[in-house]
Amino acid sequence: MLISSTANERIKAVRRLRRGRERRQTSRTLVEGPNLVSAALGAGVVPVDVYTVAGGALVARCEAAGSTIVEVSGPVLEAVSTTVEPQDPVGVIVIPEPARLETRRTVVAVEISDPGNVGTLIRSAGALGWQIALIGGADPWSPKVLRASAGVQLSHPAVAVTSFEQLLTAGLRPVAATVSGGRDPGSLEEHQPIALLIGNESHGVPPVMVERCEILLTIPIAQNVESLNAAVAGAIAMFSLGAGKESE
Amino acid sequence: MLISSTANERIKAVRRLRRGRERRQTSRTLVEGPNLVSAALGAGVVPVDVYTVAGGALVARCEAAGSTIVEVSGPVLEAVSTTVEPQDPVGVIVIPEPARLETRRTVVAVEISDPGNVGTLIRSAGALGWQIALIGGADPWSPKVLRASAGVQLSHPAVAVTSFEQLLTAGLRPVAATVSGGRDPGSLEEHQPIALLIGNESHGVPPVMVERCEILLTIPIAQNVESLNAAVAGAIAMFSLGAGKESE
């Protein structure tokens, strides 16, 4: 199969996946470029379709794993890509079943709206051995989040949480990161897995949640700088709290 | 003065500032939106021109400080903005004289190409009390870097460094962050201010520089995750090394 027209119905369907509603309705999303396609394969998420101009070893691996390979022209690859410089190949995956919230050390992104920040938090959580949960904010299956996560969303997907209560029910102790008034993250001794809440870029953790946290954490910063980036603050707090301090 | 045509020569000159060469030739750049314009004023960098549709208190502060206020139509504001959703006002500033490399704890971004990462490192360095130096990579005065730095590039500008030797001449001890084989950042005792090298997103610190570092640092991460984001790794290392451990 070779598609050279961007008006092709199949191509139009792929293009619609850049919209969140379409991703939710079809349970599909895009993995773009060799790194993400390879990460998907590595995580056992075999693309259903792979769009490629040049083919190659990775495309052959996808085909062997069961993907339908669709050869396309350069302009069609550009049309299905969401980046300015399209990367070959572009895969379509079925979004995996949601992961369940486990009772272990968790970072919770609360209404974080920037896809780069959400993706970076997912990547950092995976690297530092933390579970990550999301309350609202950017869609973790959007192409931008997948890219910023460097594919970690495929191997260590974020858990969607619908309420603060769900954290408590899972046996997690809520701790809010705040820009002032909290304890140094290095000073915390934990005997119960925590849920570390990192808030929206502009508004922080909602006051209604902060009120319900027994512990507040603040990363000490210079007086004449307003704040750290949300994803950076989350990473520093996770690293500082450490994976080893948790009582099992 | 009210400008309603995007073909106006003055507007065309502002639009050219999105190009790095134009910024270098004219020593000017853009500060977009209330947060950055306010950060510029706060850092004593008074915009020479301020383009606005709606005026307001911040624009009045700029005028009082000496800015030329240029009223423009909505489409003209859009034309001078580099973001999809333009923010009122947009200022033009003269890029300040380069800061000099001081003999104190420094993070060095080596050929970091993503403007978001460079800006985030500048923001983290300012917040955590570190000097930041750049060897190559993204232009710290580009609108994207200014945005990602949350204006910290205006108050705590990065120092441009042209060679590794310059770090040694300044009395800094070079330490490279590497993805494996280095020491835990918490284990480092320093008796001389360090230059902590954070490398390019794909290639890391160039081998020719790693060879000349006496100490390598590695942030321990999960085996099945490839790496941390460069700006996150830099922030964790800076935080972990701490401002207090340095002998003065």
**pLDDT digits 0-9 by tens, B97-132:** 998 999 999 999 999 999 999 999 999 999 999 999
The structure tokens listed for B77 are 């504001």
Interface test with chain A among B124, B229, B238, by most A beta carbons within 10 Å:
B229
Q: What percent of chain A has pLDDT over 90?
A: 91
Determine how β-strand B131-135 pairs with β-strand A90-94: unpaired
Which residue, B94, B212, B237, is CA-closest to B157? Answer: B94
User: According to the model, what pLDDT value does residue B122 have?
Assistant: 98
Query: pLDDT band for position A248 (50/70/90)?
Result: very low
Interface test with chain A among B104, B145, B202, B225, by most A beta carbons within 10 Å:
B225
Check the CA dihedral A152-A148-B207-B186 and report its sign: negative
DSSP assignment of B16-46 equals HTTSHHHHHHHTEEEEEHHHHHHHHHHTT--
Check the CA dihedral B92-B98-B104-B108 and report its sign: positive
State pTM to two decimals. Answer: 0.94
**CA closest to B120 among chain A residues:** A229
User: According to the model, what pLDDT value does residue B191 have?
Assistant: 77
The structure tokens listed for A167 are 């954290």
3-class secondary-structure state, position B132:
strand
Any CB–CB contact under 8 A between B219 and chain A?
Answer: yes
B203 Cα to chain A: minimum distance (Å): 15
Residues of A in contact with B117 (CB under 8 A): none
B132 Cα to chain A: minimum distance (Å): 14
Beta-carbon separation of A150 and B222 below 8 A: no
Residue B94, phi-psi category: left (phi > 0), alpha (psi -120 to 50), beta (remainder): beta
Across the range A127-131, mean pLDDT stands at 97
Beta-carbon separation of B124 and A229 below 8 A: yes
Any CB–CB contact under 8 A between A224 and chain B?
Answer: yes
Any CB–CB contact under 8 A between A116 and chain B?
Answer: yes
- The C-alpha atoms of residue B148 and residue B151 are separated, in whole angstroms, by 8
Residue pair A121/A150 in contact by the 8 Å Cβ criterion: no
How many residues make up chain B in this entry?
A: 248
B5 Cα to chain A: minimum distance (Å): 29
Beta-carbon separation of B222 and A124 below 8 A: no
Number of helices (H) and strands (E) in chain B: give both, helices first.
Answer: 11, 11
Average pLDDT, chain B: 94
User: According to the model, what pLDDT value does residue A188 have?
Assistant: 81
User: According to the model, what pLDDT value does residue A243 have?
Assistant: 52
Omega before A89 cis (within 30°)? Answer: yes
Residues of A in contact with B84 (CB under 8 A): none
- The C-alpha atoms of residue A201 and residue A227 are separated, in whole angstroms, by 10
Q: How far is CA A217 from CA A124, A182, A221, B232, in A?
A: 18, 4, 12, 19
Beta-carbon separation of B129 and A222 below 8 A: yes
Across the range A210-216, mean pLDDT stands at 95
- The C-alpha atoms of residue A33 and residue A14 are separated, in whole angstroms, by 15
Residue pair B193/B105 in contact by the 8 Å Cβ criterion: yes
Q: What is the per-residue pLDDT across B26-49, written as a single tens digit (0 to 9) for each?
A: 999 999 999 999 999 999 999 999
pLDDT at residue A183 tops 80 = yes
Q: Going edge to edge, which strands form the sheet with B90-94?
A: B2-3, B68-72, B49-52, B90-94, B28-32
Residues of A in contact with B128 (CB under 8 A): 221-222
pLDDT at residue A231 tops 90 = yes
Residues of A in contact with B240 (CB under 8 A): 239-240
Beta-carbon separation of B127 and A235 below 8 A: no
Half-sphere exposure of A106 (CA within 13 A, CB side): 30
Across the range B159-180, mean pLDDT stands at 96
Q: Element (H or E) spanning A217, and its range?
A: strand A215-217
Which residue pairs, CB below 8 angstroms and at least 24 apart, start in B4-12?
B4/B72, B4/B73, B4/B75, B4/B76, B5/B76, B6/B75, B6/B76, B6/B79, B8/B76, B10/B70, B11/B72, B11/B76, B11/B79, B11/B80
The whole-angstrom distance between residue A243's C-alpha and the CA centroid of its chain comes to: 20
- The C-alpha atoms of residue A155 and residue B46 are separated, in whole angstroms, by 48
When comparing pLDDT for A164 and A245, which is higher? A164
Task: Decide: residue A155, CB within 10 A, 0-12 exposed, 13-18 middle, 19+ buried.
Answer: middle
Backbone angles phi, psi at B169, to 5 degrees: -60, -35
Any CB–CB contact under 8 A between B73 and chain A?
Answer: no
Residues of A in contact with B232 (CB under 8 A): 120, 123-124, 231-232, 235
Longest Cα–Cα distance in chain A: 61
Among the partner residues A127, A219, A227, nearest to B222 by beta-carbon distance: A127
pLDDT at residue B93 tops 60 = yes
pLDDT at residue A22 tops 90 = yes
In the block, which residue shows the tokens 């085996």? B223
| DSSP classification of residue A67 | P
3-class secondary-structure state, position B177:
strand
DSSP assignment of A154-208 equals HHSPPEE---HHHHHHTTPEEEEE-SSSSB-GGG---SS-EEEEE-BTTTBS-HH
The structure tokens listed for B44 are 């004593």
Beta-carbon separation of A128 and B222 below 8 A: yes
Residue pair B14/B92 in contact by the 8 Å Cβ criterion: yes
